Amino acid sequence: MSWRPASWQSRKALQQPTYADQAALEGAVGQLSKLPPLVVSWEIEALRERLAAAQRGEQFLLQAGDCAESLAECESDRIAKQLKVILQLSLVLLHGLKKPVIRVGRMAGQYAKPRSADTETRDGVTLACYRGDIVNRPEFTPEAREPDPQLLLRGYERAGLTLNFVRALIDGGFADLHHPEYWDLGFLHHSPLRVAYERIVRDIGDSLDFFHALSGSQVHEARRVDFYASHEGLHLMYEQAQTRFIPRSQRWYNLSTHMPWIGLRTAQLDGAHVEYFRGISNPIGVKVGAAMDDAWLQELVTTLNPQNQPGRLTLIHRFGARDIEKSLPRLINAVRATGHSVLWVCDPMHGNTESTKSGVKTRRLENIQQELELAFQIHAAHGSALGGVHLEMTGEDVTECTGGARGLSDADLARDYRTQVDPRLNYEQALELGMMIAERSKKVRLP
């Protein structure tokens, strides 16, 4: 079966928009395929090697960001805050786990969303569903919901602007491990977690000083913080247009992001997404849920990583606190039976979504913490290891998930609920989750 960037087009592609004007779509995709790539293959390979190290238990993946980015919120303050909270969280994890943390943002291209229904009906009026800012707009009007091919270009541009800003901040020393005070989010001063976080920052500063005294010149390397981008590779025309052949390595790469992933709703073995993903050389993720049977998962593993290349395949499981004990052991054993290795990551968000009595979509921090805790325990009990965590969170003080040190309740959700799609942890809830991981790993290390 030969593979081409467009070979997915002969398969069934779920969750794709229907464009009224094919010529306009082809025009936009044609432009997109000529524009420069957003990332380069050697960065992608560097990430794959780090993920291979995580697979061996030597590093830990933190993949985090918005459920859906929006074109309008491509703003410096928001991006800087998102980066800061990811950096802070990575510091907490580094301190607790005592291993390098791989920082991967759900950023710079997380614009296409899978939906449970193709249409939405309000007061007897039915329109196409909102599929993310790269496709259409969320307002409930026929104009806003019409898929617009130009949005593919707007999404690519915003992804480029986001990445450019993130790279500049990181290269400019913003992410210098010696100066975590630059990452201060202001509202941390009023947080019940402040003391614990400041102790971690002090400890890391002390160990860097110690490292400096010990190894002199090498300290420069310890400062470097890498940051990678990822998004759900859902909109296949967009992904195809940014897929390039690299003559040096004789391989195809998706150069719109470092690590695209296949969502839960589009992981069918005979589907277009699996066909597209099998041909690109990026490290890739696949979301895995309770409905996946053993044979399905096994075939995904062998189809997407036939050479069993280390770092190539990350399985991001998302069961919900209630189902993880039933489903995860089975899937660990199923993958083991293939003889292939994967990186196991827990997404404790998507299986724990619920609605309040008044119909607001939310998640409880206690369920998120519980699923994550169980994930660590179940992997350990089955001779496997949890090598990362996948979170939806924001650097802003939103009220979308309940619980946490401030005890947010259903009634508090109305205060600052902004997400268009899934509820995110706010900066404080995210740090609290990070501290839980750090604390548990200290306990686990005790004899």
Which residues contact ligand PEP (rule: CB under 6 A)? 67, 114, 232, 263-265, 287, 318, 350, 422
Minimum CB distance to ligand PEP smaller for 233 or for 263? 263
Three-class SS of residue 358?
coil
Residue 388 interface partner, choices ligand PEP, Co ion, none, CB cut-off 5-8 Å depending on type: none
* Amino acid letter for position 339: G
The least CB distance from residue 67 to ligand PEP, in Å, is 5
Which DSSP letter does residue 20 get?
S
Evaluate the CA torsion angle 160, 161, 164, 165 in order and state its sign: negative
Minimum CB distance to ligand PEP smaller for 225 or for 262? 262
Minimum CB distance to ligand PEP smaller for 45 or for 73? 73
Q: Which of 13, 39, 67, 292 binds Co ion (CB under 5 A)?
A: 67
The least CB distance from residue 442 to ligand PEP, in Å, is 30
Minimum CB distance to ligand PEP smaller for 95 or for 287? 287
Q: Which stretch binds Co ion (CB under 5 A): 22-30, 60-68, 263-271, 395-403?
A: 60-68
The least CB distance from residue 189 to ligand PEP, in Å, is 31
In the complex, residue closest to ligand PEP by CB: 263
Q: Which of 69, 148, 232, 422 binds Co ion (CB under 5 A)?
A: 422
The least CB distance from residue 347 to ligand PEP, in Å, is 6
Question: Should residue 239 be labelled a site residue for Co ion when binding is judged by CB under 5 A?
Answer: no
Phi, psi for residue 119 in degrees, rounded to 5: -130, 165
Minimum CB distance to Co ion smaller for 60 or for 261? 261
Minimum CB distance to ligand PEP smaller for 53 or for 346? 346
Residue 148 interface partner, choices Co ion, ligand PEP, none, CB cut-off 5-8 Å depending on type: none
Residue 345 interface partner, choices ligand PEP, Co ion, none, CB cut-off 5-8 Å depending on type: none
The least CB distance from residue 421 to Co ion, in Å, is 6
Nearest to 61 by CA among 437, 407, 368, 420: 437
Q: What contacts 44, CB < 8 A, 6 or more positions away? A: 253, 255, 258, 259, 281, 282, 283
Cα distance between residue 193 and residue 189, in whole Å: 9
Minimum CB distance to ligand PEP smaller for 67 or for 89? 67
Nearest to 107 by CA among 155, 157, 159: 159
Residue 263 interface partner, choices ligand PEP, Co ion, none, CB cut-off 5-8 Å depending on type: ligand PEP
Residue 403 interface partner, choices ligand PEP, Co ion, none, CB cut-off 5-8 Å depending on type: none
The answer to whether 323 and 352 have CB atoms below 8 angstroms apart is no
Distance from chain centroid for Cα 360:
23
Cα distance between residue 427 and residue 164, in whole Å: 23
Neighbours of 398 (CB within 10 A): 20
Strand partners, 251: 246
The least CB distance from residue 185 to ligand PEP, in Å, is 23
Cα distance between residue 244 and residue 397, in whole Å: 39
Neighbours of 410 (CB within 10 A): 13
Q: What contacts 377, CB < 8 A, 6 or more positions away? A: none
Minimum CB distance to ligand PEP smaller for 23 or for 291? 291
Residue 244 interface partner, choices ligand PEP, Co ion, none, CB cut-off 5-8 Å depending on type: none
Q: Which stretch binds Co ion (CB under 5 A): 171-179, 217-225, 414-422, 433-441?
A: 414-422
The least CB distance from residue 88 to Co ion, in Å, is 22
Question: Should residue 400 be labelled a site residue for Co ion when binding is judged by CB under 5 A?
Answer: no
3-state secondary structure 171-237: HCCCCCCCCHHHHCCCHHHHCCCHHHHHHHHHHHHHHHHHHHHHHHHHHHHHHCCCCEEEEECCCHH
Residue 37 interface partner, choices Co ion, ligand PEP, none, CB cut-off 5-8 Å depending on type: none
Cα distance between residue 382 and residue 330, in whole Å: 10
Nearest to 288 by CA among 324, 253, 239: 324
Residue 264 interface partner, choices ligand PEP, Co ion, none, CB cut-off 5-8 Å depending on type: ligand PEP
Tokens of 206: 């002390």
Minimum CB distance to ligand PEP smaller for 25 or for 107? 107
Q: Which stretch binds Co ion (CB under 5 A): 5-13, 65-73, 76-84, 324-332?
A: 65-73
Cα distance between residue 126 and residue 370, in whole Å: 39
Minimum CB distance to ligand PEP smaller for 232 or for 396? 232
Contacts with Co ion, residue ranges (CB under 5 A): 67, 422
